[in-house]
A = this chain, B = another copy of it.
Amino acid sequence: MTDDIKATAKGSPGVNETRIRVRYAETDQMGVVYHSNHFIWFEVGRVELLRQLGFSYKEMESADDCFIAVVDARCRYKAPVRYDDMVVVRTYLKQVREKLIHFGYELVSEDGGRLLAEGETTHIVADGQMKPRKLPEKYLRVFRAAAQV
């Protein structure tokens, strides 16, 4: 990455950077990563951002009966991503409400920080029966603080 991106990321507790090595299975016959995989990487980024904020999404589901179900997902593809590339997923909270969470993402190449893709996802907070519920206070407080960074 370019230095300024690195600086931003490292200086901010509200941005997670996770490195992902592109798998052969993720490529298609065009010789690049198939475009639906970017959304899987976004999800990896979300989970790691939560971990960075002190939470386990696994426990959020199992202990707190709190799921964040995707209601909107978007990705803009800026450059092809290739097999064996190391990709950095930068994930941050854009907006946090009691029943709605909005994440933003940037995929950048590890060498040089070229922007490969950017996107966002919107999630509603739901219980295990998929009924809308409020985000428990402990998450809400930390997520809101992270979103304001």
The chain A residues found within 8 Å of chain B, CB to CB, are 21, 23-25, 27-32, 34-37, 39-40, 43-44, 47, 56-58, 67, 69-77, 80, 83-84, 130
Tell me if A76 and B71 are in contact (CB < 8 A): yes
Tell me if B24 and A29 are in contact (CB < 8 A): yes
**Among A24, A32, A37, A39, residue most surrounded by chain B Cβ atoms (within 10 Å):** A24
Tell me if B30 and A36 are in contact (CB < 8 A): no
Contacts of A37 in B (CB 8 A): 36
- A121's nearest neighbour on chain B, judged by CB, is B35
With A34-B25, A36-B37 known to touch, is A77 a contact of B83 (CB < 8 Å)?
A: no
Tell me if A77 and B72 are in contact (CB < 8 A): yes
- A22's nearest neighbour on chain B, judged by CB, is B58
Tell me if B24 and A47 are in contact (CB < 8 A): yes
A-B contact pairs, 30 of them (CB 8 A): A23-B40, A23-B43, A24-B28, A24-B29, A24-B34, A25-B28, A25-B36, A25-B40, A27-B29, A28-B29, A29-B30, A29-B31, A29-B83, A30-B67, A35-B39, A35-B73, A36-B36, A36-B39, A36-B40, A58-B83, A69-B77, A70-B77, A71-B76, A72-B74, A72-B75, A72-B77, A73-B74, A73-B75, A73-B77, A74-B74
